[in-house]
Amino acid sequence: MPDVAIIADDLTGALDAAAPFAAHPKGVAVATEPAALAAALGSGAGVVSVSTRSREIGPAEASRRVAEALAALPEGTGLFKKIDSRLKGNIASELAAFGLRPMLVSPAIPDLGRIVRDGRLTGSGVAEPIAVRARLGPAASEAEVPEAATDADLLRSVRGAAAGTVLVGARGLARALARQLSLPAPPIPDPLSAPLCIVVGSTDPITLAQVAALKRARPDLDTVEAPSGRVPSGPTGPLAALTLLQAVAGADTPPERVAADFARGAAPWLARARSLVVTGGATAEAVLDALGIASLSVAGEALAGMPLCRAGTLDIVTKSGGFGAADALVKLAAGALR
């Protein structure tokens, strides 16, 4: 039985919440979709994380998927519900699947500058303060929403939580739980090897600023634009040391279709890479589907909050669209040299 099961509404969330546990002696297994959860549970990993892929679907179906994931877990497993650190998605309906259990809720990520003060989420990337309880639905009646301005605040809250409390939060709360379990900090892996492909499906301003910084810093960057997710024909020769594949504005196309087309068109490029960086939860899910990858092992963090995972010989770093410093992609690409 795993010590902790993480249920997230998208893949980048499932991975970044799992990364703080990377030093667990039994390892960390991540299921990229609900159908892969049984295999992750059967791996013997000490921490299991699953993406229910429910961020962009209807609330009733989102609740059903979370309930199915809960039903598959061994009784007594510690529960962590990963939610978006800016409180996007079907939070109320997904928490309803847990029933009226005691909950400790904090979307704070203090090292990113996102904190909870007076019950409101505020800070980096949050345009206006957000009342946390207002996003919880009926679960608010059973929820504690502590002040969280520092990592120490989060650790104190986790240590004070009663047995059986469901932890509901983002990477900051996951880090606090890992410390409560006396796990070492995630290992720092070697730099990503060339050829490296950076796959950008997110249009979040934070990611776009990171892409702009990468283009300025790396004149050797091979940029391939995909209007509405339509990638040009695959490479005819060896990949450059560093390739950027980016979905850009085009004809009006549903987001889910853009992600699927983008991933399918990117697959011939990615099949030649040794390392991948993928931004955006929907993009990450679609890319791994296109590559036939349903499960990942978490090896550490390439940068804070950006997990490094392995699938066979392929290294994969995922990054939420609204996450990271302006030079994040520049740093991730530093090892991709020839």
**pLDDT one digit per residue (tens) for the chain, 338 residues:** 899 999 999 998 999 899 999 999 999 999 999 999 999 999 999 999 999 999 989 999 999 999 999 999 999 999 999 999 999 999 999 999 999 899 999 999 998 899 999 999 999 889 899 999 999 999 999 999 999 999 999 999 999 999 999 999 999 999 999 999 999 988 888 899 999 999 998 888 999 999 999 999 999 999 999 988 899 887 888 899 999 999 987 666 666 678 889 999 999 999 999 999 999 888 888 999 999 999 999 998 898 888 999 998 999 999 888 888 899 999 999 987 75
Residue from 179, 284, 277, 195 nearest 237 by CA: 195
Q: Which residues contact 295 (CB under 8 A, 6 or more apart)?
A: 29, 30, 31, 32, 36, 39, 40, 43, 311
Cα–Cα distance between 82 and 16 in angstroms, integer? 9
Cα–Cα distance between 285 and 99 in angstroms, integer? 28
Position 250 scores a pLDDT of 65
User: 89 in the Ramachandran plot: left (φ > 0), alpha (ψ -120 to 50) or beta?
Assistant: left
Q: Concatenated DSSP letters for 45-60?
A: -SEEEEE---TTS-HH
Per-residue pLDDT tens digits for 76-125: 999 999 999 999 999 999 999 999 899 999 999 998 899 999 999 999 88
Position 217 scores a pLDDT of 96
Q: Are 159 and 115 in contact (CB under 8 A)?
A: no
Position 176 scores a pLDDT of 98
Assign domain 196-332 one CATH number from 3.40.980.20, 3.40.50.150, 3.40.630.10, 3.30.70.20: 3.40.980.20
Per-residue pLDDT tens digits for 187-220: 888 899 999 999 998 888 999 999 999 999 999 9
- Name the residue ranges covered by the structural domains of the chain: 4-180, 196-332
Position 237 scores a pLDDT of 82
The alpha-helical segments, DSSP class H, found in the chain are 11-18, 37-41, 59-72, 91-96, 151-160, 171-180, 205-217, 255-270, 281-290, 328-332
CATH 3.40.50.10840 fits 4-180, yes or no: yes
**Edge-to-edge strand list for the sheet holding 130-131:** 114-117, 120-123, 130-131
Angle at 285 between CA 282 and CA 288, to 5 degrees: 145
What are the residues facing 242 on neighbouring strands?
196
Position 252 scores a pLDDT of 66
Residue in the structure block whose two tokens are 């791994």: 288
- As given in the structure block, the two tokens for residue 193 are 């090897």
Position 323 scores a pLDDT of 81
Position 253 scores a pLDDT of 66
CA 35 vs CA 96, 279, 283, 298: distances in Å: 22, 23, 18, 19
Report which DSSP code applies to 130: E
Residue from 111, 139, 118, 335 nearest 241 by CA: 335
Report which DSSP code applies to 235: P
The SS3 of residue 166 is strand
**Radius of gyration of the chain from Cα atoms?**
19
Q: Concatenated DSSP letters for 1-17?
A: --SEEEEESSHHHHHHH
Residue from 20, 44, 13, 40 nearest 295 by CA: 40
